[in-house]
Amino acid sequence: MKVAYIRVSTVEQNEARQLEAMKNKGIEKYFTEKVSGKDTNRPQLKAMLDFVREGDTVYIHDFSRLARSTKDLLDIVEQLHNKGVYLISNKENIDTSTPTGKLMLTMIGAIAEFERANLLERQREGIEIARREGKFKGGQVKTIDENKFNRAYAKYQQREITKSEMAEMLHVSRPTLNKLFKNRGL
């Protein structure tokens, strides 16, 4: 079966360009959504991955429609491969049912993995230099005035403010506020 996955990032955007590109492909089933591709937690993507079977082919307009990061792209392609499903990208002209397509995808993955390893190595080197110069102290624990926290928490409990507003009042990020809650058993 020929399946198409169509995605635009926002409700205001139009998927017509992608649909037009699929017209001559003989698509039998479309999975379309208007949601950010920042992660793979997308209802229609999951539905498409659950739907496809061995021998099916998934068509996409380009790789950015399927995933924003190379890691997510390769994870999705691996899921498809494990099910015996092929992937064809119109824009990149890659077809994983062919030896050349498989090679190109493998090369993309290898380059991404190499770049990630280099990035981590540069990061380690930078941290080491900063440590030697006394500039790097690692992740610092944010200290919050207990009275200020308790006043903000009371407002939060009374539903006068949201968690985001509480974080703003305390000048911390939401993840930091979540850690503060967790450390206090809240």
Residues designated catalytic: 9
Per DSSP, the three-state class of 24 is helix
Q: Give every CB contact of residue 180 below 8 A, 6+ residues apart in sequence.
A: 142, 144, 149, 170, 172
Q: From residue 27, how far is each of 62, 64, 113, 155 by CA, in Å? A: 16, 20, 33, 54
| Bridge partners, residue 95, by sequence | 88
> What are the two backbone dihedrals, phi and then psi, of residue 85, each rounded to the nearest 5 degrees?
-105, 135
Please state, in angstroms and rounded to a whole number, the distance separating the CA atoms of residues 113 and 97. 23
Q: From residue 133, how far is each of 127, 129, 130 by CA, in Å? A: 10, 6, 5
